[in-house]
A and B are shown apart, each in its own frame.
Chain A
Amino acid sequence: MREALTLAGNRAVLTRANPLAKFAAVFLITLVLALSIDWMSASVALACELLVFPLAGLTAALLWQRGWPLILAAAVGGWSTSILSPDSGRLLLDVGIWSMSEGSLQLGLGFLLRGLAIALPAVLLMSCTDPTDLADALAQKARLPHRFVLGTLAAMRLVGLMAEEWQTIGMARRARGVGSRGNPWQRMRATLGQSFGLLVQAIRRATRLAVTMEARGFGGASRTWARVSTYSVLDVWVVLGGVLIAAGAVVAALWAGTWNMVWLEGS
């Protein structure tokens, strides 16, 4: 868990780009995809994203390992949309209340592709952006208050610690006779108790960390930065890439006649 939050040994090109540029590119793509449910714009965007993934140091295996819950969720979403949405066109499948037609299959496929095309950039962003660099960029470039940004960053470190603590508390409570097995009611009660234990520990840790930070002079009005967050030529390419993918998706959908603005949709 703690290791999962760092980019152990990732030396890919995109790790060197400014996090804000990466965010801008991803935002553009996501925005366009949120506007229309159609399979054309989504598949163009998805294809381009898959081409970009190696630049973030992601392989297919790594992608699956980190993104499989999202991929599964998109697949389930697509499947249920194609079954449950109103039928149009030729009927392909009809089992009781479930039916799938050409029209609903197309909608479902669009949903699946769109889900993937929106979710995968998030995986990409996570795997090539160091939280510390992100915080630097947010505070120095986006001018967010540094107390807030650094406080959040320090707290993030504790999240990994809390995951370990959760396991320890679970064992410690089993050693007291509180079972995490049994019927759902018992399990829920056990989880509640364990959550309370974790909360107490989290507050203690957070208090001590706050003292540590304050004792290191944190909280003053001004500070200097050991690491400079800068923009480079690479960032121009990153944003340009985002614009191209977004534009490509729209143009392709308009050309294919599938562009389908969400809020104009009749049914």
Chain B
Amino acid sequence: MPGHDDAGVRPAAVTARGWGWRHAGRAKPAVHALDLDIRPGERVMLLGPSGAGKSTLLHALAGVLGDSDADDAGTPDREDADESGELFIDGAPPRSRRGRAGLMQQDPETQVVLSRLGDDVAFGAENLSVPREEIWRRVHEALDDVGLSHLPLNHPTSALSGGQKQRLALAGILAMRPGLILLDEPTANLDPDGVLEVRDAVGRCLDKTGATLVVVEHRVAAWKDLVDRIVVLQPGSASDGAVLIDGTPDEVLEQARGMLTAAGVWVPGYVPETRRRSATGALPSSGHSTGQLLLAAENLAVSRERPRRRGFRSVPPEPVLRDVTAQVRAGEALTVTGPNGAGKSTFALTLAGLLPPVGGKVSATVELSGGAGIDPYKWRAEQLIARIGTVFQEPEHQFVTGRVLDELQFGPRHLGHGEERVDELLERLRLTHLVDANPYTLSGGEKRRLSVATVLAAHPQVLVLDEPTFGQDANTWAELASFLSELLDAGTAVVSVTHDEEFTQVLGGTELRLGSGGRLQPSPAEPRPAEPTSEQAAT
């Protein structure tokens, strides 16, 4: 292992012997009969379908899983959770090895503990009672290793991007000098640039310290070259051992390609089959023809901030993006792309009538508004959902009931019509077997499908989606892309904010590329001239 002596890191070994874990209140174990040896300095990627217990294993190794034989009575899992077999780091239970392993999770916001950059990196080392001078030496070194040393130590952590937050978390872990680095989908919430940023920082740090790595990640292509072993796990409900396949990345990806793609894993070089859009033409079923202008943004300036109060005065916010002009047409896709922080989501939310424009205007044509007025922001909620449906990035934000079926019937009931479409949507998005489940308990892919279905149940003519494919497995991805292409053929306009190039390709249509700093770059293809209807021109 190159250079691990000067960094003072001794790589850790992991051993599991018939290890299993059942979460409190669950009938089936999350992990069952795991036998695994990871040598010091090895870099292992864990793969497997959802429910295979990958995160559970990482949490156990990090020593943060409810402890069955601990003497601290405060642990709620204590009564019910069930551990079997042995799981050791360097021959001892992970709980007794505080600081030997460092864990990074998926949500960047919760990987930051303190509000100043330097303090946050120091946090772990402080907890391990490292002497003060040594802490600051480590902080500087760790920030340097993850490429954040250009920022001052008192830089506010809230001002960092997602990728920077994850690199900061890595620095905080490195300052603990752990022999085992555990990454639980570290880049699932990041845009493509952020993914590479974090991946490269991890690679550099491993090369330097020689620490052992265990990473769980769906996007195999990005991480494949960094690891030297892939272990595929199977769900704890399976009767035989937890490890399904174990080998070098190339071997495993070849051997288990079919099984992995079937499980929705993003195997390198694999783009799932999706439905192709049919040739554009007349659409007898929906009653409106393709290309009909529905919604237009003119010189739009957007911001999430509300007007600020300075005493009695009201000061309009500084827009994150200005001078955006775009059209939304029936049966056509509009894809909004651009780097993080360009204001893509804010633009989409403003277009969807959820945020008031800071400058310029959003206007609905009479074909869309049906007499409800030109400005979607002024529509009542019931008027809005029947015209423009918005699917948020985080499905849970949109759940309003405690049951999948109620969730789907919610929109139609409020509108007083359209309940007949609910069954069709349940069928089409494979949610029929879940009608009585609580939406919060669904898997990530199921939540995404449900959130799309609930919005569509109100029959909107325009569908706006914010990062619909973020963190989704390949199966959900393919289903979603196919379903949207069907909707487009049926005459619905689809506006999606996305970083996903393959997804953009499947949907086709116009791409609106927003640059950083709020400037609009020329969009590649603008099929027809903007021609507002006479109703619009009236205001």
Choose from B107, B129, B397, B400 the contact partner of A222 (Cβ within 8 Å).
B129
- Give A176 to B456 CA distance when docked, in angstroms: 10
| Cβ contacts under 8 Å, B390 to chain A | 171-172, 175
Question: What residues of chain A lie closer than 8 Å to B103, measured between beta carbons?
Answer: 211-212, 215
Inter-chain CA distance A169–B112, complex, in Å, is 22
Q: How distant is B215 from chain A, measured CB to nearest CB, in Å? A: 15
Interface residues in B110-125 (C-beta closer than 8 Å to A): 110-116, 118-119, 122-125
Judged by a CB distance under 8 angstroms, whether B270 is at the interface is: no
Residue of B nearest to A218 (CB): B127
Among A212-255, those with CB < 8 Å from B are 212-220, 222-228
Contact A216 B381 (CB under 8 A): no
In contact, A176 and B410 (Cβ under 8 angstroms): yes
Contact indicator A216/B400 (Cβ below 8 Å): no
B454 contact set on A, CB distance < 8 A: 176
Which of A31-39, A121-129, A193-201 forms contacts with chain B? A193-201
Residues A217 and B176 in contact, CB atoms below 8 Å apart: yes
B392 contacts A by Cβ under 8 Å = yes
Whose C-beta in chain A lies nearest to the C-beta of B111?
Answer: A212
Which residues 428-473 of B have a CB within 8 angstroms of A?
A: 440, 454-455, 458
- Chain B residue nearest to A217 in the complex (CB): B127
Q: What distance in Å separates the Cβ of A180 from its nearest Cβ neighbour in chain B?
A: 8
Q: What is the CA–CA distance of A37 and B102 in the complex, to the nearest angstrom?
A: 57
Q: Is the CB of A223 within 8 A of B392?
A: no
Contact across chains for B132 and A224 when beta carbons are under 8 A apart = yes
Q: How big is chain B's contact interface, by range?
A: 35 or more
| Complex Cα spacing A212 to B158, Å | 17
Given known contacts A176-B410, A209-B113, A216-B172, A168 and B399 CB-to-CB distance under 8 angstroms: no
Q: Is the CB of B64 within 8 A of A208?
A: no
Residues of A in contact, count (CB < 8 Å): 55
* Interface presence of A98 (CB below 8 A): no
Shortest beta-carbon distance, B141 to chain A, in Å?
Answer: 14
Closest to B412 in A: A177
User: Taking A6-B156, A212-B111, A212-B113 as contacts, is the C-beta distance between A177 and B381 under 8 angstroms?
Assistant: yes
Choose one: B112, B130, B349, B398; the contact of A157 (CB below 8 Å): B112
Q: Closest approach, in angstroms, between the C-beta of B425 and any C-beta of chain A?
A: 15
| Complex contact B59–A175 (CB within 8 A) | no
Please name all residues of chain A whose beta carbon is closer than 8 Å to the beta carbon of B381 when the two chains form the complex. 174, 176-181
Contact A6 B115 (CB under 8 A): yes
Chain B residues with CB under 8 A of A222: 129
A160 to B159 CA separation, bound complex (whole angstroms): 12
Residues of A within 8 A of B (CB): 2-3, 5-6, 8, 64-65, 68, 131-132, 153-154, 157, 160-161, 164, 167-169, 171-182, 193, 197, 200-201, 205, 208-209, 211-220, 222-228
- Residue ranges of B at the interface with A (Cβ–Cβ < 8 Å): 59, 62-64, 98-99, 101-103, 105, 107, 109-116, 118-119, 122-132, 135-136, 139, 156, 158, 169, 172-173, 176, 304, 310-311, 349, 352, 354-355, 380-382, 384-385, 389-392, 394, 396-400, 410-411, 414-415, 440, 454-455, 458
The 7 closest A-B pairs by CB, nearest first: A179-B381, A217-B127, A216-B124, A226-B122, A172-B397, A208-B110, A175-B390
Can you list 22 residue pairs at the A/B interface with Cβ under 8 Å? A2-B158, A132-B116, A154-B113, A157-B114, A175-B354, A176-B411, A178-B381, A181-B381, A182-B380, A197-B399, A209-B110, A215-B101, A216-B102, A217-B99, A217-B124, A217-B127, A217-B176, A222-B129, A224-B132, A226-B118, A226-B139, A227-B119
